[in-house]
Structure 1
Amino acid sequence: MVDVGGGPGQELSRFKERHPELSGRFVLQDLPLTLNRIEKLPPGIEAVEYDFFMPQPIKGESAMNRKYTDCDWILGSRLYFLRDVLHNWSDAKSTQILSRIVEAMDPEYSTLIIDDYVLPDTGADLRAAEMDILMWLHTAGLERTVSQWKNLLDTVGLELVKIWSSPRGKESVLETRVRHN
């Protein structure tokens, strides 16, 4: 599992804490400035310096096709994870971020999970509309509607498998995979 732009690693740490039975590698990726602020990560989580506008170094090759190297940890991601990343960026920048992940994904093996806001296409509540305006003003980003998410994902060759929405808010989880043509 690769947490792309995962900040101090709180999501990956909670995931490992809730699922200690899971084996495999857990990688936290962020800029050096962010990673250098982390005092200690839980055992089993590796911090890797990464700028999500650059090529993704962790490739999603299926276990049967892996080519082992001295740096075996660089290969084989089943799951890529983005939380509260894309709402900070315009569609153009989000396309760049997603494209770098898609390039690294194995179409038969890898999944990208996006935890972010998903607004209804019509009838968004006032708080959601305010958040959308704030994201636009502060970061040139946006809170996307279902249609906007589908268009963005389609642009980079991803298909939306499912959206899980929280009844308490607008934050949702989008499961995506490389689209098969």
Structure 2
Amino acid sequence: MTSNTTDLESVFTSVVDDLVGLIKSQAIRLAAQLQLADLVKDGPKSLTELAEETGTNKAALYRLLYALANCGYFEEVEPEIFAQSERSYALRTDIPRSLHGFAIMHGGEEWQWEPWRNALQSIQTGKPVFPEMFGKDLWHYFKDDNPEAGKRFQKAMSSQSRQYELAIARGYDFSAARTIIDVGGGQGSLLATILQTYPAIRGTLFDRESVIAMARQSNLVDGLQDRVTLVSGNFFEAVPSGADIYILKQIIHDWEDPESLQILSNCRKAMKADGRVLVIDEIITPGKKVPPVIALIDLQLQLLMRGRKRSEAEHRSLFEAAGLRLTHVWPTDSTYTILEAMAL
């Protein structure tokens, strides 16, 4: 620790910035809800215009935009005239890699924020607090209590996933495969990217019935219908058989070891003799730093469910228990790592 006064001032300023992070995320969420980035996509607009188009109070909207502009979201090019910035551009709804849905989910969903009220309990007991607070696990909450939140979750996950899909498709050589199955693949964004990158491959998107219904309504697999099969089911019971590659992207980190083992075992039973299972996730190694977002999402998982981000060694142990062996670890030009496993 330094004793330099200037350095200490900088440290304290940074800490204060972190402490008001809640306010920043809520402000970004409001910008997404009001679709402000869409409203200035064709050029700067006056505060009066923006207030009229959003149905908001002009003075209050200025305070929101002023706060956002000072955080790098939007730019006040003249007094009460606001333009797009690089960061606010990411909130547009009409761009391929939009973070609009992700901003709304992380800024405003009850299931995200309420568990933090009991965060200390989770740290003391080591158990998630969401099931106790909501009376069921997150997935049944989406299914039974708040299907609209579940839809927003799926859209947000697809939005977030699109930031890294090309890096994943290029980070592993899929060319030898004829068929791949994306297990728990959401709306099919990653599968579509892989199929677009490798035109000879056919793919199956496998997820819960409600998610597959959303995938049918989305345009993520447009132009690929003759190469994509949509199948609904429960990966704890079985997965479609006979594929060369089974993809599990951000799946087993949602579950404890017994559930993760069941998913991996079902993939092992279903795959061809020379098939492969690819676990695609962000790896946490004790003592090694990772981008803060990875560690923070892992902390959020602590509150929500019994899953967690795992180390390479922990993945290796799970593979072996499922009758698989870790054959290769492929880094990508993203935060994700691809862990390849084959039959023992």
Q: Give the TM-score normalised by structure 1.
A: 0.80
**1:150 counterpart SS class:** helix
2:341 aligns with one of 173, 176, 179: 176
Superposition RMSD in Å: 1.7
Aligned residue number for residue 32 of structure 1: 209
Which has the greater radius of gyration? 2
Alpha-carbon displacement from aligned partner over 1:50-107 (angstroms, at most 9, x marks no partner):
210012232xxxxxxxxxxxxxxxxx31111111111111111101111111111233
Aligned residue number for residue 162 of structure 1: 328
Distance 2:238 2:288 in 1: 38
2:193 aligns with one of 3, 11, 14: 14
Aligned residue number for residue 100 of structure 1: 266
Instruction: Describe the shift of the 1:19–1:106 C-alpha distance in structure 2 as closer, same or farther (beyond 3 A).
Output: closer
How much has 1:168 moved relative to structure 2?
4.4
How much has 1:49 moved relative to structure 2?
0.8
- Please say if residues 3 and 82 of structure 1, whose CA atoms lie closer than 8 Å, have aligned partners that are also in contact: yes
- Please say if residues 253 and 309 of structure 2, whose CA atoms lie closer than 8 Å, have aligned partners that are also in contact: yes
Distance 2:334 2:189 in 1: 21
Higher relative contact order structure (alpha carbons within 8 Å, sequence separation ≥ 6): 1
Is 1:116 the counterpart of 2:281? The answer is yes
Aligned residue number for residue 118 of structure 2: none
Aligned residue number for residue 70 of structure 1: none
Aligned residue number for residue 304 of structure 2: 138
Alpha-carbon displacement from aligned partner over 1:23-58 (angstroms, at most 9, x marks no partner):
4x3110011100111225332111011210012232
Aligned residue number for residue 233 of structure 2: 50
How much has 1:132 moved relative to structure 2?
2.4
Distance 1:161 1:15 in 2: 21
Runs of 5+ consecutive residues of structure 1 not aligned to the other structure: 59-75
Instruction: Describe the shift of the 1:168–1:12 C-alpha distance in structure 2 as closer, same or farther (beyond 3 A).
Output: closer
Runs of 5+ consecutive residues of structure 2 not aligned to the other structure: 1-179
How much has 1:155 moved relative to structure 2?
1.1
More strand by share: 1
Distance 1:50 1:168 in 2: 30
- Please say if residues 121 and 146 of structure 1, whose CA atoms lie closer than 8 Å, have aligned partners that are also in contact: no
**1:142 counterpart SS class:** coil
How much has 1:161 moved relative to structure 2?
0.6
Instruction: Describe the shift of the 1:166–1:101 C-alpha distance in structure 2 as closer, same or farther (beyond 3 A).
Output: same
Distance 1:124 1:151 in 2: 22
State the percentage of identical aligned residues: 26
**1:98 counterpart SS class:** helix
Distance 1:172 1:90 in 2: 20
**1:140 counterpart SS class:** coil
Aligned residue number for residue 90 of structure 1: 256
Instruction: Describe the shift of the 1:111–1:168 C-alpha distance in structure 2 as closer, same or farther (beyond 3 A).
Output: closer
- Please say if residues 87 and 117 of structure 1, whose CA atoms lie closer than 8 Å, have aligned partners that are also in contact: no
**1:16 counterpart SS class:** helix
Distance 1:96 1:150 in 2: 15
